[in-house]
Structure 1
Amino acid sequence: MKLAVIISVILVVGAIVCIGRLFVRDHKIETHGRDIKALVEDIRHVGTNDGGSFEIAYRLSWREGDARRTVDGRDTVLASRMPQLQKGCEVDIKYLDDSHILFVFNA
């Protein structure tokens, strides 16, 4: 019985820490990230969850001075946002670094 309680506490604390890290990550991107208009060069549907969201793998590119910058990543987006994320479309992003990108959708 004690083992079940300990495992439950560990799982709950782990979930709270994970969610907290996501909020901190998003806040860091929101406050320190640059606003960029990027071109969707490639996008693939990787998976779907029960909440109506899609996990996607993407490749984005944009111009920085004379150079073309390209970044690959994965993210989870609502199914209703997928029409805005088609190959060849331009999207607004907040860019902090290659591991910290946030899609910006207008309401």
Structure 2
Amino acid sequence: MLFVYIFSAAIAVGTVSYIIHLSLRDRMIDAHGRDIRALVEDVRRVAEYDGGSITIEYRLSWHEDGETKYVEGRETILARRSSQVQKGCEVDIKYLDDDHISFVFDKCPAGQPSVLSSHSSALSPPAERRPPPSRST
């Protein structure tokens, strides 16, 4: 019975430490990473999940200091973002090094909804624009 308690505690500590590791990694990329606009050279789906996310393998390239840099990796993104990561498209990334890359999909200031927020749909019609009310003097 003691073995079960030790094993359960080890699994719980391992899970929490992995979540903390991922959070610290993302924070480090956000704080020290460079904003880069990269071309998607190749992309393919590796896995699809019921929760609305997919895992992709990608190859990105960009020009820097007169040479072309390439990076390959695997990332889990929301399925609705997959249309933004297609072969031939350009994507915004935060680049720290070849092992620390993060896709940047939303660049809206805090408090403002993005175009692809969870409350909008890619198939919904655009909102009707109305001219501002005129002021009479």
When the two structures are superposed, what TM-score results if normalisation uses the length of structure 1? 0.96
Aligned to 2:27: 27
Aligned to 2:44: 44
1:27 match: secondary structure:
helix
In terms of fraction of residues, the more helix-rich structure is 1
Unpaired runs of 5+ residues, structure 1, are: none
**Any idea what the Cα deviations from partners look like across 1:9-33, whole Å, max 9, x if unmatched?**
1101000000000001000000000
1:28-55 CA deviation, whole Å, 9 max, x = no partner?
0000000000000100101123322111
Q: Which amino acid aligns with 2:29?
A: I
- Distance between the aligned counterparts of 1:26 and 1:95, measured in 2? 11
Matched residue of 2:86: which SS? coil
The superposition leaves residues 58-106 of structure 1 with CA deviations (integer Å, 9 ceiling, x where unpaired) of 0000000210111111111011110100100000000000000000002
Does residue 73 (structure 1) correspond to residue 109 (structure 2)? The answer is no
Specify the alignment match of 2:18 in structure 1. 18
More deviation, 44-53/12-21: 44-53
Q: Write the distance in 1 (CA, Å) between the matches of 2:25 and 2:70.
A: 21
Aligned partner of residue 15 in structure 1, secondary structure: helix
Higher relative contact order (CA 8 A, sep 6+): 1
Letter in 1 for 2:18: C
Q: Could you tell me which amino acid in structure 1 is paired with residue 22 of structure 2? A: L
Q: Distance in 2 between matches of 1:55 and 1:17?
A: 22
Q: Which has the higher strand share?
A: 1
* 1:103 aligned residue: 103
Shift of 1:4: 1.2
Residue 85, structure 1, aligned to residue 90, structure 2 = no
Across the aligned residues of Structure 1 and Structure 2, the Cα RMSD in angstroms comes to 0.9
Give 1:9's aligned residue.
Answer: 9
